[in-house]
Structure 1
């Protein structure tokens, strides 16, 4: 029997780059990780994860750099760190070197300057986003503001599904006034009486990216929670798998 082909969600068709996100389909993992789980840290059978990663590897020019993601702001140098310390972003200038981010609601962000030959990826949950992981990734790329920076925000929890407490809104407001509509009151309150909000992480990420000099920002507008069973969602499912967003410079 022929193995199922992993199904992927293509990113932008930008010259000199390849970008895609995996989905749930095309793997061997059993429920609740069915079926193309790539996370080795979520309780899935190790053999299933290894088989899924082998299927993914067949689609890639090299082994992906799997990061130990900790909701922080450190950027790994993929060209010099084969087994990097915990990091939530990575940068490369080597064609064919595959960068990877694993998520199940957080933002996967690909940032590129194709003409300068440099690429970065970032894992941006609200803590990392508020802490500056995207700004750190752009800085690590080391390109001037006129280098044609562009970014793709991949599948993530959408603005109608991400309810947060007032501490999240306050964390972003300390750096800059959030864009209009980035925090919409739900009408609910926490035990201390503070308001709850629906947060638009992609909008907050775009604000940060543009302030860091990224001229072009494209959102996938794919929500991992609302009416979408193509991707894993930790908030919706609790025990679940992880999908990957991958990118590399085309040789």
Structure 2
């Protein structure tokens, strides 16, 4: 299969685009695990360079994904640490420790990597401000969505799309996780369902919606995938342990 054919296969089968009424200049995509060159357990379109995969395979996968999405070469990858720091792009160093990226510069790609954590996309109605956040439970609880939203002028004019993350029927946690969320926002109780084994099932999508709504966001979309159960489409760290990563990217063209 030629590189062009491979890229066409990627573009036709394997990335998702947000279902939201964003301005036409907004470009946003989430990769899946299909169509790349990585071998098991990273098969096949692994875009994470930090998981133990062959770096040549990762670089080829990134090239194919960029070709398939017509993504500019301005992407700056983050060192994700499950915190709340938002990197304002472009930045000068090779990599910056942060769990969200924001830009007001056209053709500057914001990117994060996930394999169960929620990728959360942001844009405003002008189409001149975009961001993407890596919302694992720790960063979600600590306020990464609120920190990202603070980069925008008016929450009511911001639209958000919740990309593929672990679903409410698969995210089993201990009581300490539930208590941490409830301590921040009491209505988070609604996002947890008790199990007979003393554990809880947590709905990160619902928590994200609650936290965003509390800050005035009224345009919230997505939240209808599960990385754990949709094994043919998505990587899941909780399901597989050693595995690849999907990329979530966003930029605006003009």
TM-score (norm 1): 0.92
Q: Does residue 11 of the first structure (1) align with residue 18 of the second (2)?
A: yes
RMSD: 1.6
Aligned residues: 243
Q: Does residue 21 of the first structure (1) align with residue 24 of the second (2)?
A: no
Q: Quote the offset at 1:210 in angstroms.
A: 1.3
Equivalents in 2 of 1:145, 1:40: separation in Å? Answer: 34
Q: Quote the offset at 1:84 in angstroms.
A: 4.5
List runs of 5+ in structure 2 lacking aligned partners. Answer: none
Equivalents in 1 of 2:62, 2:155: separation in Å? Answer: 36
Q: Quote the offset at 1:116 in angstroms.
A: 6.0
Q: Does residue 154 of the first structure (1) align with residue 163 of the second (2)?
A: yes
Q: Quote the offset at 1:51 in angstroms.
A: 0.8
Distance 1:116 1:28, change over 3 A: closer
- Residues 33 and 46 of structure 2 are in contact (CA less than 8 Å); yes or no, is this contact kept in structure 1? yes
SS of residue paired to 2:195: strand
Task: Report which stretch shifted further, 149-158 or 112-121.
Answer: 112-121
Q: Does residue 83 of the first structure (1) align with residue 94 of the second (2)?
A: yes
Q: Does residue 216 of the first structure (1) align with residue 206 of the second (2)?
A: no
**Corresponding residue for residue 129 of structure 2:** 118
Q: Quote the offset at 1:54 in angstroms.
A: 1.3
Q: Which of 125, 141, 147 is the aligned partner of 1:136?
A: 147
SS of residue paired to 2:96: coil
1:116-143, CA deviations, whole angstroms, 9 ceiling, x for partnerless residues?
62111100100000000000001123x1
Q: Does residue 33 of the first structure (1) align with residue 36 of the second (2)?
A: no
After superposition, where does 1:176-187 map in structure 2 within 5 Å?
176-179=185-188, 181-187=190-196
**Corresponding residue for residue 61 of structure 2:** 52
SS of residue paired to 2:209: helix
Q: Does residue 2 of the first structure (1) align with residue 2 of the second (2)?
A: yes
Q: Which of 105, 113, 127 is the aligned partner of 2:138?
A: 127
TM-score (norm 2): 0.91
- Residues 38 and 244 of structure 1 are in contact (CA less than 8 Å); yes or no, is this contact kept in structure 2? yes
